[in-house]
Structure 1
Amino acid sequence: MERRLYRSQQDKRLFGICGGIAQFLNIDSTLVRVGVVILTVCTGVPILIYLLLAMIMPKEPRWSDAADGYDIYERPYKSQPQARMSDLDSEIDRLEKRALVQEVQRLRTELGKYKNV
């Protein structure tokens, strides 16, 4: 299976560059971040490389975790269920607000009918 370098959607602080590199190399993203900080303090060059990568590297596609080479029962635990739950929570909030607006509109029309009687 072909491995590609993407900006991480789940493990990111600024643009997801360090998280994507860590995911590509199968190491902890904290190690990549510490390495970038140390190199930046010593040389200053990683800042330019980081900004260049932020413009060049594509974002990780949403479906990438489904095609990561693991069977659905063998997939290791990641923080993705947490991200999925927050997406689900925001979608539920949006639907609740929409339903509330529709209910208010329905009540206004009903009230309008009684006032005009």
Structure 2
Amino acid sequence: MMERRLYRSQQDKRLFGVCGGIAHFLRMDSTLVRVGVVILTVCTGIPILIYLLLAMIMPKEPRWSYVGDGFDGFERTYPSPSRMNDLDSEIDRLEKRALVQEVHRLRTELGKYKSV
């Protein structure tokens, strides 16, 4: 039996692929995970911090991780490998930039509360 590992999803992602990766690991629908994260964030605000932490810590899934798990019932077409590497590096750069911006925004928000 193949060992299950927790990765950020490359195929099922909206922002960083954390919810998609958790859903795949738990073998459930990613929409349910996303809805749960949104509800908990609205109620408590804590999951957004956990999400950002997981986005930095969780490794990206390797390209081969979905082979043989029952999700290969459709044809996938990918760009050439060199173009895919360029896209991956650009996405990585944009993800890091978005994460840095979110951290700065959170620091500003926390600074407001500290000064109160």
CA shift digits 1:5-57 (9 cap, x unpaired)? 00001000000000000000010000000000000000000010000000000
What residue in structure 2 maps to residue 3 of structure 1? 4
Partner SS state of residue 65, structure 1: coil
TM-score, normalised relative to structure 1: 0.62
The one-letter code sitting in structure 2 at the alignment partner of 1:32 is V
Q: Which runs of 5 or more residues in structure 2 are unaligned?
A: 84-116
Q: 1:44 to 1:64 in 2, by over 3 A?
A: same
Pairwise CA RMSD: 1.9
Partner SS state of residue 64, structure 1: coil
What residue in structure 2 maps to residue 107 of structure 1? none
What residue in structure 2 maps to residue 97 of structure 1? none
**Bigger helix fraction:** 1
2-structure distance, mates of 1:62, 1:77: 13
The one-letter code sitting in structure 1 at the alignment partner of 2:45 is G
Identity across aligned pairs (percent)?
A: 76
The one-letter code sitting in structure 1 at the alignment partner of 2:6 is L
What residue in structure 1 maps to residue 100 of structure 2? none
What residue in structure 2 maps to residue 48 of structure 1? 49
1-structure distance, mates of 2:59, 2:50: 15
The offset of 1:78, in angstroms, is 5.8
Partner SS state of residue 34, structure 2: helix
What residue in structure 2 maps to residue 34 of structure 1? 35
The one-letter code sitting in structure 2 at the alignment partner of 1:47 is I
Partner SS state of residue 51, structure 2: helix
Taking the TM superposition and a 5 Å limit, the aligned residue runs for 1:27-106 are 27-66=28-67, 68=68, 70=69, 75-77=70-72, 81=75, 84-85=76-77, 87=78, 90-91=79-80
Alignment length, in residue pairs?
A: 80
1-structure distance, mates of 2:37, 2:30: 11
1-structure distance, mates of 2:71, 2:64: 16
1-structure distance, mates of 2:51, 2:8: 11
Partner SS state of residue 41, structure 2: helix
